[in-house]
Amino acid sequence: MLHEIDLSRPDLNLLVLFDTVLREGHVGRAAARLNLSPSAVSHGLGRLRRLLNDPLFLRTPKGVVPTSRALELADPVAAILRDVRAVLATGEPFDPASSARSFVIGAPDGAASVFLAPLLAAVRQAGAGVDIGVRPVQRETVVAELDARAVDLAITPLEDPPTRLLSRPLYQEAFVIAARPDHPFAVEPTLRRYCEARHVVVSNIGDRRAPIDDVLEGLGMSRRVAVAVPNVMLALDLIARSDLVGALPGRVVAGHAGRFGVVGIEPPLALPATRINAIIPRAALADAGLAWLLDLVVQVSASS
């Protein structure tokens, strides 16, 4: 028979204490944040050390640093606390003006650069006291992150998610070709000039091939991808400071072209638009706070 842990011994407050000390990196600051005395925090850490058979935090002249075991526990403990808070939140009405909850939205950086500023403005206009965190997600892993509650809601081009997830369409994203204003392609935006240019693509895994290459192959043409980078902002920075061009989301380029000194040019070939969706576990909508967040994201996207 498997050995079972006696769950009557651990105290949920110890997990809150662990999470706070990990974030603060200092027992005194953690105590102040938890409204406890430093000795009470030290006593709680002692209980945790005995339960987990690990020192967890090592003292330094500037505070404490986590052990490797503490780092391993960081994400699981944070997930447990998020789940507990979500469960408790379903039992009471949600008032954004008085709530101090934190929500985590998963999104690629391009989508985040489109929705985050308007969303924060809408949160402030609603008088809400909630905090928003953004975590990068990939199309290939977003379902697993939603299932694991690593994110509360995802904004992603993923289509046809599993039925346990609800998908709400937000907006269509068309691609443009970003380049310096004096780039040969910007001066003469033909397909030939496009194929002659050096290209940057955005890929989280460093893959230099993109769907546009399939379109070019169908036309009997090809391009040279000189570099792959993990996010759109780095791509824009490289385009601004080199002879590279890049097929990037049009809303992102429109929002940041002035800051980077680039222009967005209509592609010289037909590229399919991408639909961006908000995806959330259906079960999570029993939480009035998450239902409010989803509605707000949809409203912001409709008006932007």
pLDDT score recorded for residue 5: 47
Residue listed under structure tokens 């939603």: 146
Distances (CA, A) of 258 to 83, 262, 278: 41, 7, 28
Running DSSP on this structure, what letter comes out for residue 26? -
The amino acid that residue 80 corresponds to is I
- Alpha carbon distance 247, 225 (integer Å): 11
Residue 243 gets which letter from DSSP?
A: S
In the chain the domains, ranked by start, together with CATH numbers, are 12-89 (1.10.10.10), 102-171+275-303 (3.40.190.10), 175-272 (3.40.190.10)
> Which residue, 263, 275, 274, 231, is CA-closest to 113?
231
Cβ atoms of 74 and 66 closer than 8 Å = yes
User: For the residues of 170-196, what is the DSSP string, one character each?
Assistant: EEEE-EEEEE-TTSHHHHS--HHHHHH
Report the distance separating Cα 163 and Cα 156, nearest Å. 16
End-to-end CA, the chain: 58
Digit-by-digit pLDDT tens for the chain (304 residues) are 334 444 455 577 888 899 999 988 999 999 988 888 999 999 999 999 998 899 999 999 889 999 999 999 988 888 888 777 766 665 566 788 888 788 999 999 889 988 999 999 999 888 778 889 999 888 888 998 998 888 999 999 988 899 999 999 999 999 999 999 999 999 999 999 999 999 999 988 778 888 899 999 999 999 999 999 999 999 999 999 999 999 999 999 999 999 999 999 999 999 888 899 999 998 888 788 899 999 999 999 877 6
> 93 — phi, psi (to 5°)?
-60, 150
Of residues 131, 128, 126, the one with CA closest to residue 152: 131
Nearest to 178 by CA among 262, 273, 274: 262
Q: Which of 295, 201, 211 is nearest to 239 (CA)?
A: 201
CB half-sphere exposure, 108, CA atoms < 13 A: 22
What is the spatial distance between Cα 293 and Cα 14, in angstroms, rounded to a whole number? 29
Are the C-beta atoms of residues 260 and 239 closer than 8 Å to each other? yes
